[in-house]
Amino acid sequence: MTNLKMNLKPLDQWGVTDNFPLIISGPCSAETPEQVMQTAKALVEKNPQVKVFRAGIWKPRTRPNSFEGIGIEALGWLQDVKKETGLLTSVEVANANHVYEALKHGVDILWVGARTTVNPFSVQDIADAMKGVDVPVMVKNPINPDLQLWLGAIERIHQAGITRLGAIHRGFSSGQNGRFRNAPRWRLPIELKRLLPDLPMICDPSHICGNRDMLQEVSQKALDLAMDGLMLESHPNPDEAWSDKNQQVTPDALAEILESLNLRKPEGDAIGTVDFLSLHRDEIDLIDMEILDTIARRAKVVKKIAEHKKEHKMTILQVNRWDELLKDRLAMAKKLGLDDKFSKELYQQIHLMSIRIQTAVMNAEKET
Ligand code: PEP
Ligand code: MN
């Protein structure tokens, strides 16, 4: 796909900050007026780079009966933050009513969450509610690694007339228990930036990492990839947070992270200077995790089969089945362009493992 034509204002024309990069911080969720104000005041005191305060008011939780946000009442707390600290405010909006309420209460920047970006109906409703309003909007990537879906949501909001429009990269659900809560898959935001060079790209290391330990590393990487800003969750007492407690940091810890960052201002084609190898290594890490996870899942199924064979007094090896399976898998591998010799050796190893697992099941049962 070639570059798309959109009328987008670069971040320095948003009229929200002269700072580079744009730093947005605040709690995952607004919990109490005290927690919100305490966070905001500590942010201003310890982190002069933070210009925008974030707080979730309506929380899209994975499971019901968790804390689902304070709702409209907390919009008043954000107004107080703005009045007392001068920070701009931002909230997530997930439907048209959220947009009306947030605008009515003077919220400065709206963002669309990852669980909403996946649904074009919801995004369209939100876009319709934004028609004729000049408010900055940021669109988080969808939870699945689908660039078209992300782009589609951005286009819908843009068609509503929003030109102060940005994207937030918060990583992608991978179904694996890897290093990250949400795999960064850096190549997707980079591809989006290639298609829309004027689209400000903010990285959300908190939701990528899911823990505090890697926030610095991911923040630095985002800046090295020429992203325009960071959104980092902060809380006065992260361990007691009502949502996402593992990934929030105190305003003090945030200051340490921000001070440690090496702010390289992009020159020319910054994306082209990015470490090509490290990007592709991230992709390899994810693929390897998927390979190992798949092998482990196969081993579990083999174990179930072994238990069944034992119960029905069958032999471990059924020669015909193995012969058919090998032929079938080799044909499949060939279609995928894999080398015959490699596929055969791989399958011999997989089969050996399967026999070992089954033998172990049979022997274990013999002893009991
Ligand atoms: C959030 O920013 O608190 C949030 C819910 O994030 P996401 O939409 O990325 O899951
Ligand atoms: Mn959160």
Amino acid at the residue 1 = M
Contacts of 131 (CB under 8 A, 6+ apart): 160, 161
Backbone angles phi, psi at 202, to 5 degrees: -105, 135
Sole residue written with tokens 């000049």: 134
CA distance linking residue 80 with residue 38, whole number of Å: 12
pLDDT of amino acid 269: 46
91 lines ligand 1 (CB under 6 A): no
* Tokens read off for 4: 């798309």
Ligand 1 contacts CB of residue 114 (under 6 A): yes
Residues 252 and 242: their CA atoms lie apart, in Å, by 20
Domains with residue ranges and CATH for the chain: 11-260 (3.20.20.70), 273-363 (1.20.59.10)
- Residue having the nearest C-alpha atom to atom 9 of ligand 1: 114
* pLDDT of 299 over the 60 cut: yes
pLDDT of 365: 57
**Of 63, 123, 126, 170, which is best to mutate to test ligand 1, by the most ligand atoms within 8 angstroms of its C-beta?**
170
Q: How far apart are CA 193 and CA 196, in angstroms?
A: 5
Q: 225: helix, coil or strand? A: coil
Which of 270, 314, 311, 296 shows the shortest CA–CA distance to 357? 296
Considering only CA atoms, which residue is closest to atom 1 of ligand 1? 28
- By alpha-carbon position, which residue is closest to atom 6 of ligand 1? 113
Question: Does residue 212 have its Cβ closer than 6 Å to ligand 1?
Answer: no
Query: Within a 10 A sphere around the Cβ of 9, how many other Cβ atoms?
Result: 17
Confidence class for position 1, pLDDT limits 50, 70, 90:
low
What DSSP character marks residue 141?
P
Enclosing H/E stretch for 137 = strand 137-140
Counting from 1 in the atom list of ligand 1, the atom nearest the Cα of 28 is 3
Is the pLDDT score of 88 beyond 90? yes
* Cβ of residue 113 lying under 6 Å from some atom of ligand 1: yes
CA pair distance 140, 116, nearest whole angstrom? 9
Q: Which contacts of 264-271 are long-range, i.e. CB under 8 A and separated by 24 or more positions?
A: 264/223, 264/224, 265/20, 266/226, 270/225, 270/226, 271/190, 271/193, 271/194, 271/225, 271/226
Residue 325 has pLDDT above 90, yes or no: no
| DSSP classification of residue 1 | -
Lowest mean pLDDT among 5-9, 35-39, 209-213: 5-9
Least confident range of 22-31, 136-145, 210-219, 308-317: 308-317
Collapsing DSSP to helix, strand or coil, 167 comes out as strand
Q: Residue 271: is its pLDDT beyond 60?
A: no
- Do residues 272 and 225 touch, judged by C-beta distance below 8 A? no
Cα–Cα distance measured from residue 256 to residue 341, given in angstroms and rounded to the nearest whole number: 53
Q: What is the DSSP string of 4-68?
A: -------GGGSSS---SSEEEEE-SB---HHHHHHHHHHHHHH-TTEEEEE-BSS---SSTTS--
User: How high is the pLDDT of residue 275?
Assistant: 65
**pLDDT of amino acid 264:** 64
Instruction: Give 204's Cβ-side CA count (13 Å radius).
Output: 28
Report helix, strand or coil for 148: helix
pLDDT band at 78 (very low <50, low <70, confident <90, very high): very high
Q: Is 223 a pocket residue for ligand 1 (Cβ < 6 Å)?
A: no
Average pLDDT, the chain: 91
- What's the pLDDT at 268? 47
Using a pLDDT cut of 90, give the percent of the chain over it: 69
169, β-bridge pairs: 203
- CA dist 168 and 112 (Å) reads 9
Per-residue pLDDT, 267? 55
Task: Report DSSP state, residue 179.
Answer: S
Confidence of residue 65 (pLDDT cuts 50, 70, 90): confident
